[in-house]
Amino acid sequence: DGFGTDTIAGGEGGVDSDLITFNALNSGVKLTYSGAESGLATAGVNSVDFTEIEKLVLTDYADLVDATLSGVSLDTGAGDDTINTGTGVYDINAGAGDDRVVRNTATNVTEAGSVIDGGAGTDTYVAGGALGGNTINLETGKLEFQGNDRGDIRNFENVELDNIAASVIGDSGDNTITAVGDFDNNLVGGGGNDLIDAGGGNDTVSGGAGNDTLLGGAGNDTLDGGTGDDLLTGNDGDDVFVYSGGNDTISDLNFGSTGPLDDGVTTNNDFIDLSGYYKKIFDLRADYADNNVLDQSNFSTADYTGKSQFGTGSLRFTNMSASDFRYDNTGVVCFGAGTAIRTPQGDVLIEDLRVGDLVNTMDNGPQRIKWVNKRSYAISDLQHREHLYPVLIRRGTFGAERDLLVSQQHGILTGRSGDAFARAKHLVGHTSGVRLARGKKSVTYIHLMFESHEVIFAENVASESFYPGPMALEQMTPQDRLAFSQVLPGLSLGFGKVTREQVGRVYGATARKFLSRKSVIADACKCKLTPKVPARRAVQHTQHTGPQFAT
């Protein structure tokens, strides 16, 4: 190793290329080129100043090479070498070891014959500076600019982009692709189990085949795991996730978004388009609620006709509940304007519920529906009997996730402590976000009755189930009254009038007391009308035109 301080001039004569080898040394060499065939090699206190040397062979240790001034011919041998290159035609074999080749200069058309081979080991190509706009293509082993060949870069497993905007295409192996800085990059993993960290900027990232890990970093990124079982993390920004098969996991949907999830806009928050898999947001929520996986496992209750199938694939989400899925972050609409009722399987449109179905209640957990009734009124009915007009509770009022229409007699859980019902008609004119919907051309009321009077959740609003009070029974048609008598024979009474006391003995008391109109107005004036349960963020706002929840 102690070769001293030498000067070697190869000369330009003869027929053979001149060669200096350092492979007998027991430590790495620091090599700095001053030209294509000249430079200085040092190993500790020892040095070689060389000129007109066509090729060098370095050690089997960690060599450090500066070849930024021009193309060179070099074999760095084994060891974890670092090679800095520039513009020019290179013939470099990095040999075995985990090597790094760094370039910060632009490419030109003369470099098509350049060959830089990472050799064996896990090698990294680092692109920075003026190399922006180029494509590092590990699949073809080429450096490209606008589709034109800029030389071979062979046998590299990893790529780092250092503060440039560029494109990277991985190969069939396990690639690690990392971008540093706030630049917009296009990163493709190819085959293999890849790790791609896009850094800042608005990046487009695709894992390709294999089980990939994609990190979007800051910025509004698009992440597509491709086939395989992938992990996608968008980080900050309004990111778009794409499902392309396999069993993927999205770790941070709804994290770092710039906008709310209740404005009907899909571009100011994280988003994954699932409209090709689900017809209704309620089906999506029910699918997730049964096993915390989107896999269409609720096929027995949901209609997936004409929709793409997950098959053996699935989607998982970290720290998500069924109610966190909205139109804004999935593109799946409510599909019809029927009222959404909370069930153990998620929110279900009221017109899809049947006798025997379970519905969540505030006091007694899931309870089975005992009786369902539907009554429709045309505009002529509404114009002649104003008490039939529904009451509109605006989205956000009492926690409503969408606009909610109820009958005027319907009980909404309010009160100073959220422990009493207020008639919807008593809230009109005294509570912001509540009004009489006189513009309706028709209305259909659907009633849900349980074994006892319950507090259920309609569009997230805590409100009453159907209570068979005297007024409700009087408004039934003879046919409905006959059907109802089969459910509660004790209230048939020959279809005559019944008293509230009789209802109490047969069916039981109401789940909460009802406030008087005077108490409702007094509470409204004191700003005390608040729901008992906290409001959640809203879903897509859709004007109601179909069946409504009301009693």
pLDDT tens-digit readout, 198-249? 999 999 999 999 999 999 999 999 999 999 999 999 999 999 999 999 999 9
- List pLDDT tens digits, range 134-159: 999 999 999 999 999 999 999 999 99
Round to whole Å and give the CA distance between 187 and 491.
70
Round to whole Å and give the CA distance between 206 and 189.
6
- List pLDDT tens digits, range 66-117: 999 999 999 999 999 999 999 999 999 999 999 999 999 999 999 999 999 9
CB atoms within 10 A of CB 37: 20
Round to whole Å and give the CA distance between 196 and 449.
54
- Tokens found for residue 129: 């500076």
**Chain centroid offset of residue 234 CA:** 8
**Residue 529 confidence (pLDDT) above 60:** no
**Residue 546 confidence (pLDDT) above 50:** no
Which residue, chain included where needed, has tokens 């992990």?
231
Which residue, chain included where needed, has tokens 């009022």?
397
CB 367 within 8 A of CB 361: yes
* b/e code 84-107 from CB counts within 10 Å (16+ = b): bbbbbbbbbbbbbbbbbbbbbeeb
- List pLDDT tens digits, range 469-505: 888 888 888 888 888 888 988 887 555 678 889 899 9
The lowest-confidence range among 55-64, 412-421, 498-507 is 412-421
**Chain centroid offset of residue 429 CA:** 41
Query: For residue 206, which of 236, 252, 161, 240 has the smallest C-alpha distance?
Result: 240
- Tokens found for residue 346: 């998620």
**Residue 388 confidence (pLDDT) above 70:** yes
Could you write out the three-class secondary structure of 458-527? ECCEEEECCCCCHHHHHCCCHHHHHHHHHHCHHHCHHHCCCCHHHHHHHCCCCCCCECCHHHHHHHHHCC
Output the pLDDT for position 545: 40
Round to whole Å and give the CA distance between 87 and 429.
76
DSSP letter for 235, please.
-
CB atoms within 10 A of CB 144: 18
Give all domains of the chain, ordered by start, each with its CATH number. 8-29+55-239 (no CATH), 340-467+510-549 (2.170.16)
Round to whole Å and give the CA distance between 523 and 515.
10
For the segment 444-450, the average pLDDT, to the nearest whole number, is 93
Output the pLDDT for position 92: 98
Distances (CA, A) of 470 to 129, 495, 497: 82, 11, 7
pTM score over 0.85? no
- List pLDDT tens digits, range 299-317: 988 889 999 999 999 999 9
Round to whole Å and give the CA distance between 497 and 404.
31
Output the pLDDT for position 549: 55
**Strand pairing report for 213-215 and 195-197:** parallel
**Residue 375 confidence (pLDDT) above 60:** yes
Q: What is the mean pLDDT of the chain?
A: 90
- List pLDDT tens digits, range 193-210: 999 999 999 999 999 999
Output the pLDDT for position 482: 84
Reported confidence tier of residue 338, pLDDT bands at 50, 70, 90: confident
SS3 at position 160: strand
Output the pLDDT for position 172: 97
CB 408 within 8 A of CB 424: yes
Rg over CA atoms, the chain = 36
Output the pLDDT for position 416: 59
Reported confidence tier of residue 280, pLDDT bands at 50, 70, 90: confident
Q: What percent of the chain has pLDDT over 70?
A: 92
Output the pLDDT for position 528: 47
**Chain centroid offset of residue 92 CA:** 43
Round to whole Å and give the CA distance between 138 and 457.
55
Output the pLDDT for position 535: 39
DSSP letter for 389, please.
S
Residue 310: phi and psi, rounded to 5, are -70, -30
- List pLDDT tens digits, range 437-446: 988 888 889 9
Query: For residue 231, which of 246, 250, 216, 245 has the smallest C-alpha distance?
Result: 250
